[in-house]
């Protein structure tokens, strides 16, 4: 997880929020246009901070209950990733009988050192879904790391889809990891990265390939001259043997701006600017026949209280749509220290607002073949068209204008033009304000976002409430929808 403050702001093309009511006309292409991208069958996944993986699996509700809703959508287990900052602080002990062991002064702190044993991998087999598994490269102990790799393959090999050697190695020198010696530029990191990859392949031998994750860098832009980056791995550092062993190229993405308010940070223009930094990397990966994924993503890399709000949930939805619309294949939303990271989808016995954004993303993208963004990214309003069998299947409309919860709530009228049916139905994603955050306890009496009028129980993530689809007539091939500030719609075409 990113723990570096970036002292710059991404420029916005328009002002954010507080816009008066507006009217937008969207021509719906009758077939996937040039610029549309193919969708993955399972585009939304979850990432679990390495030392927290056993706790998410065993100690708290409702994470695993909530993931079952994704399982039902996908028809298989939701893909997950286990990794993060603490994977590069982890020592494998084959004789340790527990899952993980560490000491911290405060239960909300991440440990500087931890030990884990073989049973850690048994939980992956118990989960039974495609898993990206991270291992320690930062401490530069190949013997220990590769012993863990071999044991993981024995115990959970059927479920390990990819192996990640090191988390955010571009930050290794800043985080004082032993493997990094100054200068730690693209050249030094690339050489070490490739050397580790080749050493891994030497012990992996006849086991399944491709298997490695390439990159896993924290920062998608050149933060300093010759900053480590995925493009250098592909263009210079990796030979053909390593390239053939790469399953996916991967990066991380958190908000790149240092805005101070939710009104600034939740705006669609911000999301577009952040996601646009990945275009070159997606294209470079495709040039060598591989897809690019976000192995770790969420709203902010530092702890921001705004991340737990409904505005944060809308950012999750918008980021999922925009990322897939530039050809990025899959997003793994990171879950940090329980009860500490504000972007988490869950706290102990609580479904947080961002989870709703993740689930809404899956509802929108599931069963789609292709996606295209039909807005230019310069306003607060996002529009995406999803195709199935060569025809428009869904439209996802998002109004990212801020609403505080008091005073007049602005609204936007969006007209979809080019529809052939007589009427369409839609699911509305809404809440009482952009600032809404869920609370522990009785969900029915507390605040919560709703998807088609439904919401999730804090106890076991059961879906509560009556599902309501809104029906809109189509006249002269047009349908008109109204979105209040901080609302979204999935329109089924």
Hey, where are the domains in the chain? 39-369, 381-492
**Residue 393: in which H helix or E strand, if any?**
strand 391-399
CB neighbours (10 Å) of residue 89?
Answer: 21
Residue 162 makes CB contacts below 8 A (sequence gap 6+) with 132, 133, 211, 212, 213, 247, 248
Do the beta carbons of residue 277 and residue 220 sit within 8 Å? yes
The closest alpha carbon to 220, from 287, 286, 296, belongs to 296
In this predicted model, what pLDDT tens digit does every residue of 197-232 receive, in sequence order? 999 999 997 678 999 999 999 999 998 999 999 999
How much is the pLDDT for 1? Answer: 54
- Give 10's pLDDT tier (boundaries 50, 70, 90): very low
Determine the distance from the C-alpha atom of residue 239 to the mean position of all C-alpha atoms in its chain, rounded to a whole number: 29
Rounded to whole angstroms, the Cα distance separating 19 from 27 reads 23
Neighbouring C-alpha atoms within 13 Å toward the C-beta of 233: 29
Topology of 39-369 in CATH?
Answer: TIM Barrel (3.20.20)
How much is the pLDDT for 173? Answer: 97
Q: Which residue has the tokens 């050489």?
A: 191
Residues 379-404 have a mean pLDDT of 98
In this predicted model, what pLDDT tens digit does every residue of 284-312 receive, in sequence order? 999 999 999 999 999 999 989 999 999 99
Do the beta carbons of residue 115 and residue 81 sit within 8 Å? no
The pTM score is 0.96
CB neighbours (10 Å) of residue 441?
Answer: 12
Superfamily, domain 381-492:
Golgi alpha-mannosidase II (2.60.40.1180)
- Picking from 32-41, 199-208, 269-278, 425-434, which range would have the lowest pLDDT averaged per residue? 199-208
Residues 182-202 have a mean pLDDT of 97
Neighbouring C-alpha atoms within 13 Å toward the C-beta of 274: 35
Strand partners, 451: 429, 454
């Amino acid at each position: 997880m990113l723990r570096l403050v970036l002292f710059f702001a991404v420029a916005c093309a328009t002002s954010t929020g507080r816009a008066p009511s507006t009217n937008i006309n969207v021509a719906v292409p009758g077939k996937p246009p040039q610029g549309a991208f193919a969708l993955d069958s399972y585009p939304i996944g979850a990432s679990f901070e390495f030392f927290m993986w056993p706790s998410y699996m065993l100690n708290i509700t409702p994470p695993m209950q909530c993931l079952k809703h994704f399982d039902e959508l996908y028809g298989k287990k939701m893909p997950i990733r286990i990794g993060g900052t603490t994977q590069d602080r982890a020592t494998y002990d084959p004789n340790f009988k527990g899952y993980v062991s560490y000491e911290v002064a405060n239960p909300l702190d991440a440990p500087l050192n931890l030990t884990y044993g073989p049973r850690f991998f048994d939980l992956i087999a118990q989960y039974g879904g495609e898993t990206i598994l991270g291992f320690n490269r930062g401490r530069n102990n190949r013997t220990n790391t590769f012993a863990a790799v071999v044991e993981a393959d024995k115990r959970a090999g059927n479920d390990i889809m990819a192996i990640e050697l090191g988390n955010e190695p571009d930050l290794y020198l800043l985080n004082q990891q032993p493997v990094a010696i100054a200068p730690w530029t693209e050249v030094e990191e690339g050489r070490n990265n490739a050397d580790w990859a080749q050493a891994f392949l030497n012990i992996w031998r006849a086991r399944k390939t491709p298997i490695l994750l390439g990159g896993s860098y924290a920062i998608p832009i050149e933060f300093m001259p010759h900053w480590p980056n995925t493009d250098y791995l592909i263009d210079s550092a990796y030979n053909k043997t390593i390239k053939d062993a790469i399953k996916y190229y991967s990066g991380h993405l958190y908000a790149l701006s240092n805005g101070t308010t939710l009104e600034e940070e939740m705006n669609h223009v911000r999301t577009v600017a952040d996601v646009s930094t990945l275009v070159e990397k997606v294209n470079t990966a495709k040039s060598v026949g591989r897809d690019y994924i976000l192995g770790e993503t969420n709203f902010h890399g530092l702890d921001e209280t705004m991340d737990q709000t409904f505005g944060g949930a809308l950012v999750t939805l918008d980021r999922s749509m925009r990322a897939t619309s530039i050809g990025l294949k899959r997003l793994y939303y990171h879950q940090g220290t329980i009860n500490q990271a504000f972007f988490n989808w869950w706290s102990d016995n609580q479904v947080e607002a961002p989870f709703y954004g993740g689930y809404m993303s899956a509802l929108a993208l599931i069963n789609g073949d292709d996606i295209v963004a039909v807005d230019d990214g310069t306003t607060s309003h996002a529009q995406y068209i999803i195709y199935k069998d060569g025809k428009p299947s869904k439209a996802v409309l998002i109004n990212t204008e801020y609403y505080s919860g008091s005073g007049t709530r602005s609204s936007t009228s969006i007209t979809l033009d080019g529809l052939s049916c007589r009427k369409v139905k839609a699911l509305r994603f809404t809440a009482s304000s952009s600032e809404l955050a869920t609370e522990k306890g009785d969900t029915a009496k507390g605040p919560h976002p709703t998807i088609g009028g439904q919401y999730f129980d804090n106890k076991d993530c059961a879906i509560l409430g009556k599902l309501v689809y809104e029906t809109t007539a189509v006249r002269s091939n047009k349908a008109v929808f109204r979105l209040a500030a901080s609302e979204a719609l999935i329109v089924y075409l």
